[in-house]
Amino acid sequence: MEQHVFAPWLNPDEKPLIQFKGVTKRFGDFTAIDNQTLDIYAKEFFALLGPSGCGKTTMMRILAGFEQPTEGQILIGGKDMRAIPPNERPVNMMFQSYALFPHLTVWENIAFGLKREGIPKDQLNARVEEMLRLTRLAKFAKRKPHQISGGQRQRVALARSLAKAPKLLLLDEPLGALDKKLRQETQFELMDIQEKTGTTFVIVTHDQEEAMTVASRVAVMDEGRIIQVATPADIYEAPSSVYVADFIGDVNIIQGTALKAGDGYDIAWAEGRAPLHSKREGDGFSPTNGASVALAIRPEKVSISAEQPSGVTNAVKGRIIDIAYLGNLSTYHVELEGGQMIKAQTANTRRLSRRSYTWEDEVWVSWTDTAAVLLEG
Amino acid sequence: MRKFALIALPYTWLVLLFFVPFLIVLKISLSDLALARPPYAPQLDLSAGWQGIKDFFGGLDFENFIWLTTDDLYWKAYLSSLKIAVISTLLTLMVGYPMAYGMAKAPEEWRPAMMMLVILPFSTSFLIRVYSWMGILSTEGYLNQFLLGLGLISEPLMILNTPVAVYIGIVYTYLPFMILPIYAALDKLDGSLLEAAEDLGCSRFTAFWLVTFPLSRSGMIAGCFLVFIPALGEFVIPSLLGGSETLMIGKVLYEEFFNNRDWPVASAVAVVLLLILIIPIVLFQRNQQKEREAGQ
Ligand SMILES: Nc1ncnc2c1ncn2[C@@H]1O[C@H](COP(=O)(O)OP(=O)(O)OP(=O)(O)O)[C@@H](O)[C@H]1O
Ligand SMILES: [Mg+2]
């Protein structure tokens, strides 16, 4: 395990590499980025996550210098970027559309940025070869972009942005077109590059697993706003809103009203049923008595059993509606009395036929008082 | 079968309107001048049967083509036409490229209007437009009056009836053929390529030079051929604006045909011109083909 925990955002003395200060971007009267303030630190692997059209690419384009913020300020390394054109920023970007030069070969595409620096020819050759090897494109070096596959094009775009070894690399969905195996390998390559060169990465991805694997911190966006910025573990375990909980991974949401009880809250969730108890609130959320709340529980934290379990805070009876078999895991869709659906996930340690419960069976679902997070509902 | 019907149409067109007339011209070029109607011999006389056909083919020869090589008027005219066509094509490119670039960079809502302006001159007669250039370029014309009025020159410039007037005429007339294909190429250009170039360290100018320019090459080539091919055989412009000094093959052809009424030699001139043009036409086709492949 790592000895020293990498968390510069916790250190008040640390100067951020990138600062968004009250940045707003409007296209006509459409607000793509809405007054956002965000710090990203050197050597971070920062992931932007969010639904299509939420403004991820726009954030990147502002950083790279292709869009000027309508309001607010961008600083890189403490320097105001307003008057700095893209070619003078210490930033390289990999475009979502790849933007490969169609009249140049793969080799020339990768060499393009290096040639602008005027580095000696043998160094240039060595660097391009290294990039070709890294992205496994050596065989295609002499081809034009229209003569290679979509995934190969994506790797050319990646190699081209990596070639100059910039201080800050912006990757807009860099691995989306790769198959799972190559994607994982490239993820590790990226992390490796980052470790070796100390480059700061900002990466846009639609793949939560990818964000979880590579990112030091994740920002979840929605409609031009950053909803939560946290480490992958915190985003998953301690989401700050139902939106984030729902966006990252699978979650059960139970609506109800909160009542302070002991060291936590009792949540009244259905007429005539015992209240649920939870000891964990979302970041900065302390509901008043009678406030409407949402209880978020991950399916893998819900246990399922044929008999009523003893010694568990929350146990509710229901009926199995559906079982989704995922190989190593199974997800049970259980309908509680009153209609609420709950998903429970268990590891498939036993063969399916040996289970003590199946479709239409009455079962009990249960979870502890720290398994669920209490969120504003 | 349907595919056959589809390609039959253009081929019929081509055979009727290109190949048949060409065969007629080729036949006349192999004939001899005759004081008759039409003014050449032999004529195919089918009523004489087999003997008629034999006489007909026996009467054809390459005399007129040999004649073209003996009088230096012809090859000088060909060379001079080539020179004028090449220079005016390059001039058209130099004028047309910035205009096409400006159009492609203009705000979206202006472009239809600009496109209209480029093709608007076609709505008046070509002949009238060339005549009006005579009014502009002559010694008492608007241009000289304007320059004299400004005091830039003290003597009127001799432009009309010189090659310069021919260049001006060709550039003016064929400019739209240059602008449109270049504009089409520039319009297709993906703006993110320029962003990528800038991102990788290019200034605006180097980005233009390394990305925009090479990617508009096929448009430039297409435009150059579209100007070069008709300019080579151009007749109206040199005869109206070029005066007697400007030697162009189109003019020679006209004189052989109408002044000397020597149809066979005129046809031979035309056949050679066509052979010369086949080279650039084939190259042009190849350029279009290559672009289509790259576009896929
Ligand atoms: N040049 C522009 N003019 C007008 N609207 C724009 C422009 N660029 C982006 N937008 C709008 O801004 C919003 C954010 O766009 P952006 O490209 O940042 O989305 P994204 O988060 O990258 O989406 P995706 O995941 O689909 O790539 C979208 O609604 C988009 O339509
Ligand atoms: Mg995007």
Q: What CATH class is the domain B64-295?
A: mainly alpha
Query: A54 alpha carbon to ligand 1 midpoint, in Å?
Result: 7
CA distance B128 to B118: 17
Q: What is the pLDDT of residue B63?
A: 87
The DSSP output letter for B229 is H
What part of B 195-254 touches A (C-beta under 8 Å)?
A: 195-203, 206, 210-211, 214-215, 217
Delineate the domains of chain A, giving CATH numbers in brackets. Answer: 8-242 (3.40.50.300), 250-376 (2.40.50.140)
Q: Looking at beta carbons, which pairs linking B227-230 to residues 24 or more positions away fall under 8 Å?
A: B227/B88, B227/B89, B227/B92, B227/B93, B227/B170, B227/B174, B227/B177, B227/B178, B228/B85, B228/B86, B228/B89, B228/B280, B229/B277, B229/B280, B229/B281, B229/B284, B230/B174
Answer for the pair A74, A81: CB distance below 8 angstroms, yes or no.
yes
Task: Give percent of chain B with pLDDT exceeding 90.
Answer: 51
Atom of ligand 1 nearest to the CA of A51: 25
Residue of A nearest to B192 (CA): A99
Query: A170 alpha carbon to ligand 2 midpoint, in Å?
Result: 12
Q: Name which of A91, A108, A112, A158 to mutate to probe chain B: the one with the most chain B Cβ atoms within 10 A of its Cβ.
A: A112
Q: What is the pLDDT of residue A20?
A: 95
pLDDT in tens, A11-41: 889 999 999 999 999 999 999 999 999 999 9
Residue A357 or residue A117, greater confidence:
A117
Residue nearest atom 7 of ligand 1, based on CA coordinates: A27
A73, pLDDT greater than 50: yes
Average pLDDT over residues B252-277: 90
Please enumerate in sequence order all residues whose Cβ is within 8 A of that of B122, keeping only pairs 6 or more positions apart, or say none: B176
Q: Which amino acid is at B3?
A: K
Chain A: residues touching B (Cβ < 8 Å)? 64, 66, 85-87, 91-93, 95, 97, 99-103, 112-113, 116-117, 144, 146, 160, 164
A178, pLDDT greater than 90: no
Is omega for the bond preceding B42 within 30 degrees of 0, making it cis? yes
Residues B247-270 as b or e (16 or more Cβ within 10 Å = b)? bbbbbbbbebbeeeebbbbbbbbb
Tokens of A37: 């303030």
Query: A57 alpha carbon to ligand 2 midpoint, in Å?
Result: 4
Please enumerate in sequence order all residues whose Cβ is within 8 A of that of B291, keeping only pairs 6 or more positions apart, or say none: B218, B222
Query: A32 alpha carbon to ligand 1 midpoint, in Å?
Result: 7
Residue nearest atom 3 of ligand 1, based on CA coordinates: A27
Answer for the pair B148, B156: CB distance below 8 angstroms, yes or no.
yes
pLDDT in tens, B106-131: 999 999 999 999 999 888 898 999 99
CA distance B156 to A269: 99
B295, pLDDT greater than 80: no
Residue nearest atom 12 of ligand 1, based on CA coordinates: A32
Q: What is the pLDDT of residue A1?
A: 46
How far CA B54 is from CA of A138, B51, B137, in Å, comes to: 68, 5, 56
For ligand 1, say whether the CB of A205 is within 6 Å of any of its atoms: no
Count residue pairs from A and B with Cβ separation < 8 A.
57
Lowest mean pLDDT of A232-236, B55-59, B187-191, name the range: B55-59
For ligand 1, say whether the CB of A52 is within 6 Å of any of its atoms: yes
